[in-house]
Amino acid sequence: MAITGNITISGNRINLENGQSILLRPVAPESGKPGIYTIDPPGNPTLLHGNKLCGDKPPTYILIYQEGHSLYLHVFDGPDIPRRLSGLTLQKGICATYNYEKLN
């Protein structure tokens, strides 16, 4: 949260605390790869304190999934479609990971 601030995910959009939004498009939902998205239109939004979502390179994919009360965003800048894996599993092309805990 120190990097992104609060986020909300709704439909095909991630809303950032600073008022920016990231529009998402599912990648081949029929392929059995739920939670994998491209950013449409492409971009690398500025987060809190001037940080970028994926460093200096624009991201190509975002993998979003939830386990229990934890939400995970894995951001990729490579050409390969990421695999959906549990926990923090590094894959080729990963440029950032964001983990969120829902507090009661």
- Please report whether residue 15 resides in a domain: yes
Question: With 80 as the cut, is the pLDDT of residue 13 above it?
Answer: yes
Note whether residue 55 is domain-resident.
yes
Q: Print the domain residue range for 69.
A: 7-81+94-101
Chain segment 21-67, per-residue pLDDT in tens = 899 999 866 554 458 899 888 888 888 888 888 888 899 999 888 88
Is residue 88 one of the residues assigned to a domain?
A: no
Please indicate, yes or no, if residue 19 is contained in any of the structural domains. Answer: yes
Task: Provide the number of structural domains found in the chain.
Answer: 1
11 assigned to some structural domain: yes
Report pTM.
Answer: 0.81
DSSP the chain: -TTT-SEEEETTEEEETTS-EEEEEES-GGGT-TTEEEESS----B-GGG-BEEEESPP-EEEEEEETTEEEEEEE-SSSPPP--SSS---TTEEEEEEEE---
